[in-house]
Amino acid sequence: MAPAPRPGARSGRVPLARRAQAWAVLAGPLACGTSPPPAEPAPAATVAPPEHVAAAPSPSRLGEPAPAAPPSAGPHAAQPAPDPCAQSRRVTLALAGDVIPHRELQLHGLADPAGFAPLFAGVADLLAAADLTLANLETTVAPATDRIGRDLGATAASRAPAYGDGVFFGYPSFNAPPALLQALAGAGVDVLVTANNHALDRRTLGAERTLEQVEAAGLAAIGTRRRGATTWPALVRTLPGASVAIVACTDLSNVRPDADDVLLHCSDELPAVTATIAAARGEGADAVVVFAHWGAEYVTEPTPRQRKLARAFAAAGADAVVGTHPHVVQPIERITVTRGDASVTVPVAYSLGNFVSHQPSIPSRTGALLLIDVVGPAPAEAPAPPEPAPGIAALTWIPLVVDRSPGRAGDPRDPTTEAPAERFRVLAAARADPLGVRGTDRAGTTGELEHLRATLGEPDERVTPPLLGQGARLRADARCDLPAPE
Ligand SMILES: [Zn+2]
């Protein structure tokens, strides 16, 4: 769902939630390089940021009065048929892992007349079907900005993007062309998390220009801000049926210090993070989801530090915690914390793995598209108590894989570089390839699903088969029913 029309934006998208009925918690640095994983610089000593104030009320619609009812048409007016969609209280969030524009992906995207869109075309139906779709943008997108964050001016900005021109680059200091954002928006992504260890790869100017580019593409960003800002408001979306607040932070940064305090740090600024979570709850969000960039790369178990942060977020009011950065999936667990006088249980997906990258190993080319169903408040006239209760009602995942196929005759090539002869596509690993790249059901053919299941457990089959088998139908086959959760 997007706040404003944009090229490729979907209208009339159908919530995946109509398919997701069960609570089925299942069971994922700093590098982001290709295999073998290169060592990354260890985080520098913590630099205390300037003092933060508590999060101010975010620019949400939560506090606004409800729209006025339309004027009555009188007792003899024809009564329109009730809109079943208006009765729905359930929305679905889809959360994807790291978008890492390695050199090979940038070369291909720049050489292909379709840009980066083919990367995501195989899962665009799934991304677009959710009510709100997020991914982690593990790069800056900062035209005319050099590798140490200097402005190269209007002349450089007017040049067509080219890889390695002093501006756009892959590992280890990422900067991707704006076409990447246009492709993500066109595929159905709504929100990009910009809090990660590569957020400052082009320093403060790069972070700010990334925000400009994200907004220009019709997307929202969360986790970074412009210099001079003094608060870290949550991103709040009031969707038809429920409102959702997103908070994003990173526990890692490859560039320190964060001289202008434009990046929200999970540990160094934990009071600001928890204040933002609490403020979002206080405003009445039906669910607060924390997206954290944390953990150890290529390790399939969460670190004690991840567990500690997750508990802090949950205690502050998070209803779900979702992580990225390890470039492999980590387990989904339910943790129980004390919040006020109550004991609450919160799902934590420690790592979703990569969404798209050029990392070739099975653990790094596979990832999870996490689906979270959020139920909003019942209408005032509904019998009490409402069932299901507002909050998170279901959670499951769809297995993803970055498919790398041999190039075909006619594939676009960059005549000035050695554009790779491979085709890259993100696919849902368990369904027949909708693009015909492989032409067969990829499930079980390469060990990708087996790997994901080993860490995440089994996907909820009451959710995933309809999605995987009929994903392309979702947008054309509206369902507004709200089955009771099991
Ligand atoms: Zn990272």
In this prediction, residue 382 carries a pLDDT of 65
Adjacent-strand bridge partners of 151: 145
Residues 6+ apart with CB under 8 A from 232: 52, 55, 225, 247, 264, 269, 272, 273, 276
Poorest-confidence range of 76-90, 424-438, 442-456? 76-90
What are the φ/ψ torsions at residue 72 (nearest 5 degrees)? -70, 140
**d(Cα 52, Cα 9) in Å, to the nearest integer?**
36
Calculate how far, in angstroms, residue 277's C-alpha sits from the geometric centre of ligand 1. 22
- Using CA atoms of 231, 232, 233, 237 in order, give the dihedral in degrees to the nearest 10: 150
Judge whether residue 396 has pLDDT over 50. yes
CB contact at 8 A, 214 and 137 = yes
Per-residue pLDDT, 387: 65
82 CA → ligand 1 middle, Å: 47
pLDDT exceeds cutoff 70 at 473 = no
Over residues 382-409, the mean pLDDT reads 74
CA distance 115 to 177: 10
What pLDDT is stored for residue 421 in this prediction? 60
List Cβ neighbours of 360 (8 Å cut-off, separation of 6 or more): 34, 35, 404
pLDDT digits (tens, 9 = 90+) for 269-308: 999 999 999 999 999 999 999 999 999 999 999 999 999 9
Q: What is the pLDDT of residues 221-248, one digit of tens each?
A: 999 999 999 999 999 999 988 999 999 9
| Residue 483's pLDDT band (cuts 50, 70, 90) | very low
Residue spans of the domains in the chain: they are 16-31+83-476
Structure confidence at residue 408 (pLDDT) = 52
Q: Are 252 and 196 in contact (CB under 8 A)?
A: yes
Q: pLDDT class for 456, splitting at 50, 70, 90?
A: confident
pLDDT in tens, 121-178: 989 988 988 899 999 999 999 999 999 999 999 999 999 999 999 999 999 999 999 9
Specify which of 129-133, 259-263, 366-370, 417-421 reaches the highest per-range mean pLDDT. Answer: 259-263
**What is the structure's pLDDT at 21?**
28
pLDDT at 114 over 60: yes
CA of residue 338 to ligand 1 center, whole Å: 30
Q: If you measure from the C-alpha of residue 204 to the centroid of ligand 1, how many angstroms do you get, rounded to a whole number? A: 18
Is residue 179 very low, low, confident or very high in pLDDT (cuts 50, 70, 90)? very high
What are the angstrom distances between the C-alpha of 90 and each of 78, 115, 302?
29, 35, 30
pLDDT, position 187: 97
Task: Say how many C-beta atoms besides its own lie within 10 A of residue 139's C-beta.
Answer: 30
3-state secondary structure of 114: coil
Q: Which of 38-47, 286-295, 388-397 has the highest mean pLDDT?
A: 286-295
- Which pLDDT score, from 0 to 100, does residue 341 have? 92
- Predicted pLDDT at 424: 85
pLDDT tens figures, 397-419? 888 889 877 655 445 554 445 55
Residue bearing tokens 């969609």: 85
What is the pLDDT at residue 285? Answer: 95
First-residue to last-residue Cα distance in the chain: 27
Share of the chain above pLDDT 90, in %: 52
Nearest one of 15, 21, 22 to 1, comparing CA atoms: 15
CATH of domain 16-31+83-476: 3.60.21
Find the 97 Cα to ligand 1 centroid distance in Å: 10
- The DSSP letter of residue 463 is T
- Taking the centre of ligand 1 as the mean of its atom positions, its distance from the CA of residue 199, in whole angstroms, is 9
Q: How many residues does the chain have?
A: 486
Digit-coded pLDDT (tens) for 70-84: 333 333 445 554 444
More reliable by pLDDT, 436 or 400: 400
CB atoms within 10 A of CB 69: 6
Mean pLDDT in residue range 40-45: 34
Q: Where are the alpha helices (DSSP H) in 328-398?
A: 362-365
Containing 204, the helix (H) or strand (E) segment is helix 203-216
**Higher confidence at residue 22 or residue 145?**
145
Q: Looking up tokens 């995987």, which residue turns up?
A: 468
Listed range (129-138, 420-429, 434-443) with the worst mean pLDDT? 434-443
Residue 477: is its pLDDT beyond 60?
A: no
Least confident segment among 170-179, 184-193, 275-284, 358-367: 358-367
User: What is the Å distance from ligand 1's center to 316 Cα?
Assistant: 24
Ligand 1 (single-atom ion) residues, CB below 5 Å = 196-197, 325
**Side chain identity, residue 82:** P
CA of 149 to the centre of ligand 1 (A): 19
d(CA 354, ligand 1 centre) in Å: 10
Position 376 confidence tier, pLDDT thresholds 50, 70, 90: confident
In the predicted structure, residue 58 carries a pLDDT above the cut 50: no
Residue of 142, 130, 240 whose CA lies nearest to 191: 130
Kindly report the number of other CB atoms within 10 A of residue 458's CB atom: 13
User: Is the separation of the CB atoms in 245 and 220 below 8 Å?
Assistant: no
Sign, CA torsion 241/54/94/5: positive
Distance CA(244)–CA(56), nearest Å, equals 17
Q: From the CA of 471, how far away is ligand 1's center (Å)?
A: 29
Q: Is the pTM of this model over 0.85?
A: no
Asked whether residue 468 carries a pLDDT value surpassing 70, the answer given is no
Quote the ligand 1 centre to 83 CA distance (angstroms).
Answer: 44
